[in-house]
Amino acid sequence: MKFYDCETAPSPRRVRMFLAEKGISVETVQVDLGNQEQHSEAFGKINPFHSVPALELDNGVVLNTSVGICHYIEAAHPEPALIGADPMKRGQIMDLDARIEQEGFLAVGEAFRNRAKSFKNNALVGPHQHAQIPELITRGKLRTQQFMHWLDQLLEHNEFIAGSDISIADITAKWIKVEPEEEQVHLNRWFSEINSRPSAKV
Ligand SMILES: N[C@@H](CCC(=O)N[C@@H](CS)C(=O)NCC(=O)O)C(=O)O
């Protein structure tokens, strides 16, 4: 198996933290996003979506989304369960994970990629060029605030995002690089707990 990674990017970090929680290590290849290596012809043959992470299995099949890769790892190495040990828990965890990806991860990305000069004609990840839309900076920031508020309220009742154990939903939320407000006490408590785990150092 070969894991296509980029040390500094948040999406591959989700997979690295997932692997670390499982206690698994995988051969890793760095893809230099800073130098646009994801757009090289060679990498395009591995992942036509020109993004990381990607996981190449021993039979040549390539998985190319964080969530797909994590599901594969969970099925191959069920313990400790990070996507629910029974059908109901799995459904609940994936509901939360999808919400965090859509409302949090993508909202932060919307604000960031429509603002940063380095993404001028690359506002969306992938093989196609998309111009930045400045209005999306404001909308992305507002959506991020609404998301952080929702997460803070959820964590008032749950130690981890989906209950009493860490799950993929915590890992997805951890890599949303936004500092909580001081008064978001539940979110702050959860952040310090999750940041203290060895798997968060990946
Ligand atoms: N839905 C994909 C998104 C992957 C993604 O956005 N990867 C970013 C790094 S965090 C990337 O490859 N960016 C390349 C680019 O900006 O051209 C996943 O979860 O794996």
Which residues form the pocket of ligand 1, taking CB atoms under 6 Å from any ligand atom? Answer: 9-11, 33, 38, 51-53, 65-66, 122, 125
Distance CA 148, CA 99 (A): 12
Q: Which residues in 35-54 are b (16+ Cβ under 10 Å) and which e? A: eebbeeeebeebbeebbbbb
Mean pLDDT of 59-71: 98
Ligand 1 mutation pick, 52, 113, 124, max ligand atoms within 8 A of CB: 52
pLDDT of res. 30: 98
Q: What is the C-alpha radius of gyration for the chain, rounded to an integer number of angstroms?
A: 17
For residue 58, pLDDT beyond 90: yes
pLDDT of res. 177: 84
pLDDT of res. 168: 98
Distance CA 57, CA 34 (A): 26
Q: What's the pTM value of the predicted model, to 2 decimals?
A: 0.96
Take residue 63 and report the two structure tokens written for it.
Answer: 């998985």
